Amino acid sequence: MILRLASVCVFILLTCSSKLYAQADSVGFGRFSELGLFPKKDPGTSNIQISGSYRFFGTYTRQLDPYLLNPIIGDTALPRNIFIGDDSQLPSLTLNVAGRPNDRSSWGFDLYVFQFLNGIIGSSYGSQVVDSLRPDIQYPRTGLRLGGNLGLLLGMNLHGSFKTSKGTLVTHVGGIQWYAMSDLTMASFRGYNRFMLYERNPWDPTGTDISSRYKQYFDQGSIDQDNRWGNRAFVGAVVEGFDFPGRISFSGLIGKTELNGGFSQVPNFSYGGKLKKDWGGKNFISFNTINSFSYTDSLARESFGLNVATLEFMIEKRGYVIKGEAGAGNYFSPNNDEGWAELFQFKFKTPTRGRWPSAELHVFRINPNVVNNNAVFWNTSTTEYSVNDIPAGSVGSSALLQPFGSSMVRLGQMTNNRQGINLNVEAGKHDLKFAGGLGFSSEITAAAPVITFGNPVNQFTRSRFWRWNFPPNVGPYNRYSDIFRDVYQTVNLADDSSGVVVNKKHFAVAEAQIKYHTKLAGKDVYLFSLLQMGSAQRDFSPVVVTTEKAYIRQYSAEIEAYYAISRGFLFNAYYGYERTLGNYLTDIDEVTRRPRNQYGEGVGVGCDIDMGKNTRLYLRHRWYYFRDESFELDRFRGRELTVEIKAFF
């Protein structure tokens, strides 16, 4: 369908171009004398380029124990489940069409194609079609078609660049663009590139060869990502200017961010931009701002939204880098208007010199009254306003799963109502490399008596238990919330005073990653391991608390191996183990009278297979296991097979 649409577009462009040149020749324009209805010279259509990718994804799950997904409706995980597609509505087919009519201008648009899956087979795919009524091979446009809901995802993007004597202007119009300004205004969390590669992201590229992805991760500490990595989704118009006099660049945007989603008919939009001055090299200073505005009803009687404005700078000298961003933010709604408040972060990084490792010191503080879900920090303290009563995570909801509560987060991840320090270190050469760090943070004001945390082992498999929506407060004890490719738990604390929270919560985290490269029978072998520790407690501690003084303490270890047996076949394996413990100030089971005592384990094997130019087959088979010794119903075990085919063209 989409290929036919693209062909029609190209045909129209060719036809219009031919008519234009023919008309110009008839009125005597000399430069078109070689052109006509069938031009003797190429009118420039060869500059049109079409590229893209196709992704097939299928999952087979076998649950060996019944697991209660939603106790309210009595929904349990199916013993066997085959699922084709991606229930997060990520595109199966992406087409990028671009052209350059001259050396000063360019244009393009992107088409995203997907099959909408909502769990109701009849409504999604239409009624079954008998063989006699299906389209004929010789006449495919006749008969009743299958997959009638195959369509465009998020509309069409148009972009262009214009080079002038003063500088270059770049425009993006439509939806959806992936854009970032700065950490505290508009961006997504990148972290320190410490993650496992066994479970592939939907947007991961195939690489130049079957082992290039793992080699790059070992050599550089990161992997190639598409334009969604580190950026935020934005629908509307973006104008950027580069190379203007005085080394000035700028950007402006107006449209809708993720905060303006849902099916609400009430007017809502976001706007912002940045003005940047470069000083040579990587040194710069910039002013950044993002603003969101929504009405509470169609009569425009009340409004809610946010404003954030920051100054950002970077100074580099002899490999040493100082980078900072500071400013103020304001969140307003009929239920909340505390005025403007502060937020800042500063980073100091040293270069690698000889045997001395590279180190980065990160200091931050974000006031509890600053809310900006477009930024890298989470909202954990302010209940946000919603224009409808549809539960968060359901189709049509304008509410987010906010606030998360006081979250236990990864090293470098920030939340509001939090101030802290992180230290990250990277070292190693040749075939052995190490990276790790320590971090501690504290609440600025005592927030709700709630802590949230995730489970790193089997997190992707667990998130696929709940399909179609991202429901909160599910699971056997209504304490799990499903979000995009992850699930987090909510812990209720019992150390308040007559319902009033009196104790600030403090957090500590430690991470260590080891990467090793060797050869076996002349073939490359890569070993990656990631160790994580974290705790949340009443008293301040610069290191992870391993005693019952911590409300929650969690430990996890993951290791994976990749063996390039041949140019077209790569074997991989995974093992993960985690342990989570709560103290007696957290939830207590009514039967055992004990707090959380959780175990998690995952074992996986798989392979990457080269199917031809820019095409790969990825097979993953995982055995997973989880149990809580204190809460009898919170346990599951099973196995999962995923099949992915990724092709770029």
Band (pLDDT 50/70/90 cuts) for residue 13 is: very low
Task: Determine the residue type at 297.
Answer: D
pTM exceeding 0.75: yes
pLDDT in tens, 181-234: 999 999 999 888 898 999 998 888 888 889 999 999 999 887 777 777 788 888
What pLDDT does 132 receive? 74
Q: How far is CA 463 from CA 431, 482, 605, in A?
A: 35, 6, 20
pLDDT in tens, 88-130: 667 788 888 888 777 766 777 777 776 555 444 444 444 556 6
What pLDDT does 303 receive? 85
Question: Quick check: 586 pLDDT over 70?
Answer: yes
Mean pLDDT, residues 517-542: 96
What pLDDT does 251 receive? 96
Q: Which of 142-146, 376-380, 469-473 has the highest mean pLDDT?
A: 376-380
Q: Which helix (H) or strand (E) holds 5?
A: helix 2-26
Kindly report the CA angle at 105 between 104 and 106, in degrees rounded to 5?
140
Distance (Å, whole) CA 140 – CA 123: 23
Q: Which residue has the higher pLDDT, 614 or 284?
A: 284
Q: Would you say 371 and 379 are in contact if contact means Cβ atoms under 8 Å apart? A: yes
Question: Cα(first)–Cα(last) distance of the chain, in Å?
Answer: 17
Structural domain boundaries in the chain: 52-84+417-649
Contacts of residue 337, Cβ cutoff 8 Å, sequence gap at least 6: 331
Token match 């036919």: residue?
4
Task: Determine the residue type at 230.
Answer: G
Band (pLDDT 50/70/90 cuts) for residue 84 is: confident
Q: To the nearest whole number, what is the mean pLDDT of the chain? A: 84
Distance (Å, whole) CA 632 – CA 591: 9
Band (pLDDT 50/70/90 cuts) for residue 263 is: low
What pLDDT does 381 receive? 84
Contacts of residue 469, Cβ cutoff 8 Å, sequence gap at least 6: 393, 394, 395, 482
Band (pLDDT 50/70/90 cuts) for residue 45 is: low
- Cα 286 → chain centroid: 25
Percent of the chain with pLDDT over 70: 81
H helix runs in 517-574, sequence order: none
Band (pLDDT 50/70/90 cuts) for residue 395 is: very low
Mean pLDDT, residues 249-277: 85
* Range 174-193 burial, b when 16+ CB lie within 10 A, else e: bbbbbbbbbbbbbbbeeebe
Question: Quick check: 465 pLDDT over 50?
Answer: yes
